[in-house]
Amino acid sequence: MKKYESVIDSIFLSNNGEIDLLTGAISPDRFDQIVKRDLAMAQRNPAKISMISTAINLTQFFTDNQTLDSLEQQSMIENELVNLHFNLKSTFRQSDCICRVSKLGFWILLNGADKRTSDQLVDRLVRELPKFITVGMCLWQQDESILDWYKRVDQIHFNNNQ
C-alpha cells in the first residue's frame, strides 16, 4: 500500500454532513446517527443487524494499469467509487444505509439481516462486483457497544484491503 500512498492521499473524500460529495452515499456522521438509533431499537426488541464492508484493493485494481500517472490513477479510482456506489444501491434495499467510510470503500448497514441472509448478500456481491473489490461482513452481537462493533468492522474493512 505504500506505493499507492500519494494516490490515496489525492482521492476526493468530502461530505456536507449529509452525503459524500463524490458518490452521493450517506455521510459518516449521518450514518453513525442511524446506526445508534437502530442498535438502540435492536437492544429493546432483539433484532439481527449486520454490516457489510466493501473496498477497492489497489494492488489488484492496478495490476493492468501500473504505467498510468498518479492523476490518471486518481481519476480511475474515483470513477470506480462512483460505479461501486451505484452497484451497491442497486443490490441493497432502499432501507439499507450505504456510507462511504474511507477513501476506498463503503459500509452497508443491514437491519434485520441474520448471518444466513448477510452471507448470501456477500456471496452475491463477490459474484457481481469486480474481483478487485473486497467484501466482508460483521454481525452485531447483542449488548455489544457501537465502538466495539466498529472496531471489528474496521478490521475487516482495512485488513481485506491489504
Pick 33 or 2 by higher pLDDT.
Answer: 33
Per-residue model confidence as pLDDT tens digits over 34-53: 999 999 998 888 889 999 99
Supply the pLDDT for residue 66. 66
Per-residue model confidence as pLDDT tens digits over 58-105: 888 988 666 778 888 899 999 999 999 999 999 999 999 999 999 999
Q: Is the pLDDT of residue 118 over 70?
A: yes
- Cell numbers for 61: 485494481
- Cell numbers for 24: 452521493
Supply the pLDDT for residue 161. 56
Supply the pLDDT for residue 65. 61
Is pTM beyond 0.85 here?
yes
If phi > 0 it is left, if psi is from -120 to 50 it is alpha, else beta; for residue 24 that is left
Domain edges within the chain? 2-159
Q: Is the pLDDT of residue 162 over 70?
A: no
- The matching CATH number, chosen from 3.40.1280.10, 3.50.50.60, 3.30.70.270, 3.20.20.10, for 2-159 is 3.30.70.270
Q: Identity (one letter) of the amino acid at 137? A: M
Non-local (6+) Cβ contacts of 47 within 8 A are 41, 111, 112
Contact 48, 139 (CB under 8 A): yes
Supply the pLDDT for residue 116. 94
Q: Is the dihedral of CA 63, 65, 68, 74 positive or negative?
A: negative
Residue closest to 61 by CA, chosen among 7, 124, 123: 7
State what percent of residues in the chain have pLDDT above 70.
95
pLDDT confidence bin for 131, thresholds 50/70/90? very high
